[in-house]
Every structure is written in structure tokens, then in C-alpha cells.
Amino acid sequence: MQSTDSPLVMIVHGGAGNVWPQYHTAAVDGCENAVSAGWQILQRGGTALDAVEAAVRVLEDDEAFNAGIGSVLNAQGEVEMDAGIMDGATLHIGAVAAIRGVAHPISLARRVMEASVHHILAAEGAERFAAAQGFTIIPNRQLITDRRRRQYEKRVAGQEGDTVGALALDIAGNVAAANSTGGVFYKLAGRVGDSPLAGAGFYADNRWGAVATTGQGEHIMRVGLAWRAMQALEEGATAQEAADRALAVLQERVPDARAGLIVLDRAGGIGIAHCTRDLPTAYWLSGAGRPVSALRA
């Protein structure tokens, strides 16, 4: 491997919640595939931004996760997705909310960041932007899997989670964060969660590190969960301390909270914390020959 100024770090999560036993392997394997995709980019000297986008695209393509194809259905039986991405070098943000008919919301979020003067585009406007930018618009039903259709028909909530997120630290010391989700099951049409909101669902700043959160968006946004972890990093906390402190604030202020987060500090440390039963994660750190994955931290 080439000599690095900065350690390389790639970490992904597959959503805070309860992963049913029959989906344990899919969740862990999916996280490993995604982290490997991002890691390959970092190893070649690619950017953190490219790495998090690539990792999240893998998770969006994987029907095991609540993002892209396989997103949960809203109360009308439709898929509406949110995604956000942030470049820690520039603090530029791109996000999309309540969008339909796009297989890779994370890439559309990145395009919002790079090809518009805005940071968040929602619903039809975001879809028109996607079409104008040459994204293929697919019939929304192509995003609906049998598993999610069955869940909708039986109205089985309770398997919250499966949202995805990724963080990376590249050879040049840049960090990036990305999130993608179908949101929460049986949400009202038009509902937007924390995932596309900087400070709630994600944050990245080269000076300190990067954060991606997951769980009930209505809980996460009330305390600005991602920002809480960033603040802890600024105060000198390690990534794990920052994750723990942010989660402690959430649990103190929102007692029934269901959430989790992954954190990366600029020294290359990682943190994982959750107050749900499960938070599938995988990470790959400089010097390691393979990724490390787990269902629970």
C-alpha cells in the first residue's frame, strides 16, 4: 500500500432497529459489501466523497436495506426516499427529500450539491431536477420489493431500521458523510426525516470528523444528534466518546428514543453507539486486511 499522510477509514451502517433473525446474515454481508466498495476507492487514492457515495449505492441496490430498492412503504403504499451527503473539506451539502422513481437517491443528493445552488431539493422538484440532470426515472413500483409489500399488507411495523449511512477518511485527510433511507414505515406521504438534514442525520467537517445517524427521525432531529457528536469531537472527545455522549443527550431529552450513530474522528478513530437492539455496521481501517462487521456494537 502507498504511504499515507492520513490513515484511511471506511465505515458504514445498516440502520438502528431490530433486525429479524432471518435477515441477520443479509444485513452483515450487505454492510461488508458496501464497506469494501468504499475501501477500494480510498485505497486507490480516491476521495472520501466518492467512497461514501459508492458505499451507499451498494446499500441502495441491496434489497435487505431500507434505501433505494427495498425502501419501506408509506401509508399510501408508496416509496418516498430521503438522502444527504456532505463534503467535510468544503462543508458543501446535497440532499433530497420525499423523492420517488430514482434508484440511487445518494447520487442525486450529490448532484444537488455539485450542480445546483441549493442544498436540499424535495419531491416533484427534485424529480424534475433528476430528469434534467440525465438521471433515469423509473416507475416507482420498481423500488417496491415483495418483502416490503407484505409488510405493508400486514401493517407490521416493529422492524424499524435498515436505513443506511457511510463515513470515510481519505488519504488527503478529507472526511465525508452520506445517508440514504426510505424513512419510517407507514409514514404520511410527504414526511421528511432526519436523514437529509445536516446536523440531525449527518455532518462532516475536516477539522473534526464526520457523523451519520439513524433511527426515528422525529427523535433525532429534536436534539440535532449529528451535531451533538460533532460538538463533542470539537471538545476533544474521541469518536467513541462523541458517539456515547451524543446518544446520552438523546436518551436524556427524548426518553423513548430509538436511534444510533457512527462517528469518525480525524485521527482515524471510529465510534458506534445505539439504543436500539441492533445496529449493523462494518468498517475497514488502515492496516487491516479485511473489514470488521457486526450486528451490534
- Residues 101, 161, 199, 209: which binds ligand ASP (CB under 6 A)? 161
Residue 68 engages ligand ASP in binding (rule: CB under 6 A): no
Helix 48-61 and helix 105-115, axial crossing angle in degrees, nearest 10: 150
Burial 110-149 (b: 16+ CB within 10 A, else e): bbbbeeeeebbbbbeebbebbeeeebeeeebeebbbeebe
Helix (H) or strand (E) holding 56: helix 48-61
Q: How many residues bind ligand ASP (CB under 6 A)?
A: 14
Residue 38 engages ligand ASP in binding (rule: CB under 6 A): no
DSSP code string of 141-185: GGG--HHHHHHHHHT--------EEEEEE-TTS-EEEEEEE--ST
3-class SS at 258?
A: coil
- Residues 174, 206, 216, 281: which binds ligand ASP (CB under 6 A)? 216
Nearer to ligand ASP, 237 or 261 (CB): 261
Asked if 181 is an active-site residue, the reply is no
Given 163, 181, 213, 214, which residue is catalytic? 163
Residue 184 engages ligand ASP in binding (rule: CB under 6 A): yes
Nearer to ligand ASP, 176 or 184 (CB): 184
Instruction: Supply the minimum distance, in Å, between the C-beta of residue 195 and ligand ASP.
Output: 5
Ramachandran sector of residue 259 (left: φ over 0; alpha: ψ -120 to 50; beta: rest): beta
Residue 15 engages ligand ASP in binding (rule: CB under 6 A): yes
Nearer to ligand ASP, 46 or 165 (CB): 165
Smallest CA-to-CA distance from 184 within 62, 10, 67, 63 is with 67
- Residues 33, 47, 174, 195: which binds ligand ASP (CB under 6 A)? 195
Residue 278 engages ligand ASP in binding (rule: CB under 6 A): no
Residue 181 engages ligand ASP in binding (rule: CB under 6 A): yes
Instruction: Supply the minimum distance, in Å, between the C-beta of residue 296 and ligand ASP.
Output: 16
Taking CB under 6 A as the binding criterion, the range among 21-29, 93-101, 133-141, 191-199 that sits at the site for ligand ASP is 191-199
Q: Give the span between the Cα atoms of 129 and 149, in whole angstroms.
A: 28
- Residues 47, 163, 206, 293: which binds ligand ASP (CB under 6 A)? 163
Per the listing, cell 440532499 goes with 95
Residue 88 engages ligand ASP in binding (rule: CB under 6 A): no
Residue 160 engages ligand ASP in binding (rule: CB under 6 A): yes
Residue 193 engages ligand ASP in binding (rule: CB under 6 A): yes
Q: Is the four-CA dihedral 7, 10, 257, 28 of positive or negative sign? A: negative
Q: Give the span between the Cα atoms of 129 and 121, in whole angstroms.
A: 8
Q: Give the span between the Cα atoms of 274 and 259, in whole angstroms.
A: 6
Taking CB under 6 A as the binding criterion, the range among 1-9, 155-163, 229-237, 286-294 that sits at the site for ligand ASP is 155-163
Smallest CA-to-CA distance from 97 within 200, 223, 187, 191 is with 191
Residue 183 engages ligand ASP in binding (rule: CB under 6 A): yes
Smallest CA-to-CA distance from 95 within 73, 125, 70, 61 is with 125
- Residues 209, 215, 224, 291: which binds ligand ASP (CB under 6 A)? 215
Q: Give the span between the Cα atoms of 92 and 215, in whole angstroms.
A: 24
Q: Which residues bind ligand ASP (CB under 6 A)?
A: 15, 160-161, 163, 181, 183-184, 193-195, 214-217
Give catalytic residue positions: 163
